Structure 1
């Protein structure tokens, strides 16, 4: 490591310690933002002090999660966190290299996009009276992709074997992060043709491909389809209304939330819904699902718009509620739980129908 890089990482480590002293309990993600760094860069300053840098192949690292038994899988973006407890039951990897993807089915359900997996660490940290052990994955900008935390019944021996198997030869604190360039999506060239293709969808999974072909940003697509397949609802009321109704009626729903490298999915009922305020820089309003094996934490002060979206399929229309921040970035999606080949439940459509339209 060069003297300049070593000095930079040392300065960052000292700055992190300073902010932890000034703001006890501050989360690493918040500290990174305060310091103008990434979460991965901060974590790398602790290599050799409870942090081990890991290397790929990332597809094999993901498959190794199956050996850990019951874990807590956490995936987040700036406004929504999903946490599921359970094993990585069924992992199916498709493709190779930058095109590699995976589906994880079972108590932990995710869609994995390996093109965004750039850094990974094994982390041991002390929190209150507990020792937490985790595997944490980051994209090239140093933003968290997913974190896998050991639980009381996890296989710690398997965890140690995993760490040794994927331990990187380079254990320096040097980390070269790179911001993502803004993608230019200026379509569609033909609005009528775009909406015609929307009307001919056969499966909800075809929607993303349609956006790519027409070079349309997802948010702009919803604007283009306003009055035909989409309309806005009250962003501040909608998420809690959906969760309260689903909880009261025991209606199983689906919640999707994620980032460039991982999309985590909840499928099932929700029970305990709570709104709490916290934050070091000012009050943040969090909408929470606090169930035994599933937690959701959503920052309601960041939710800016909410849309009802309908997509044709071979089983009829499928309805989602999609949440966005001010930058038109997707926060989360809600669906009624349904199985392939079965039409959408009327109970879900009733929940959506009762949302306050704008």
Structure 2
């Protein structure tokens, strides 16, 4: 079902002025609208509706030079600085793969897109922001001082669409899928899991058995999925930093997954958040949203892929951590780190 805002665009803009210190997401929640509807209300006031076609968007992103790529879900935000190079389009999934920016995109979720200019005390902030049908953010591209600012206005004009209405009609947000497991298929799950040769085969397996990721983890047990306490995630980041262990971090939503591969150095706690604040890479994770954590082993042709995966109380996947398999030494360091985490943070341990 599609819904429009209960307040006018003028009222939304007035609220933005009144609550200028609030982040867009927080203000949208306060107004009981989606973030996409908040942005759309400013069309003609620094915001332009642009095409949602990925091939066109990413050709434009490539002209911007160095930018910051941001992807988030309810509990985790990842930000990577780099260039949108090596884009590969596809009807079901599209990719950007380079040393700095690594993305997996699902085009059917890229529904609404806007070019945004916001005046702040630090100057004009420019971005392209993409939202799904419910008006929830899928991905954002933020320009930096080092970006090709001279191309911005031309790019926005080229991307602009005819419809510049400042009202955004959105669909009801799809609920998080209930945890699906089938204890009667537990033996079959374990048997087939042991035959995996690629991590991507796992989701095919769960679909075949009418399960989902968390449901399978709860049923499989050791040696495939071992439950550990939520505190292990914070310890993981500190220990990876202390031991200079390169890791891979996957953060995503239904429409986009963003990946960091490399070291994490500066780990900073701020209230409920645990943060990675490194040059070219930021991670912001709500520790208090983590309800379940599993150490998971899946076989690949290059050896075992061992991950630490965190889920919210609603069963939603928040973040995944892997070793860097292509680097034998880094993978070995990661496996030792996970072994120590499992020993120190067994679920239910005091």
TM-score, length of structure 2 as denominator length:
0.91
Query: CA 1:160–1:208 in 2, change beyond 3 Å: closer, same or farther?
Result: farther
Match of 1:280? Answer: none
Distance 1:16 1:353 in 2: 52
Query: CA 1:310–1:13 in 2, change beyond 3 Å: closer, same or farther?
Result: farther
State the 1:168 CA deviation.
1.1
Pairing 1:47–2:43 present = yes
Could you say what secondary structure the match of 2:153 adopts? helix
* Equivalenced residues, count: 340
Distance 1:318 1:354 in 2: 16
1:243-282 to 2 correspondence within 5 Å? 243-277=237-271
Match of 2:281? Answer: 294
Match of 1:197? Answer: 192
Distance 1:145 1:13 in 2: 25
Distance 1:29 1:163 in 2: 23
Structure 1 stretches of 4+ with a deviation exceeding 6 A read: none
Could you give the per-residue CA deviations for residues 121-168 of structure 1, whole angstroms, max 9, x where no partner exists? 000002222210000000111000011011111112333222112101
Gaps of 5+ in 2: none
The match for 2:163 among 157, 170, 180 is: 170
Conserved in 1, the CA contact under 8 Å of 2:39 and 2:47? yes
Could you give the per-residue CA deviations for residues 8-47 of structure 1, whole angstroms, max 9, x where no partner exists? 552x5425633763x5511111111122210000111100
Pairing 1:357–2:346 present = yes
Distance 1:80 1:13 in 2: 31
The match for 2:82 among 75, 82, 86 is: 86
Query: CA 1:187–1:245 in 2, change beyond 3 Å: closer, same or farther?
Result: closer
State the 1:63 CA deviation.
3.0
Pairing 1:101–2:94 present = yes
Distance 1:88 1:19 in 2: 31
State the 1:197 CA deviation.
1.6
Pairing 1:130–2:90 present = no
The match for 2:224 among 213, 229, 233 is: 229
Match of 1:212? Answer: 207
Query: CA 1:13–1:213 in 2, change beyond 3 Å: closer, same or farther?
Result: farther
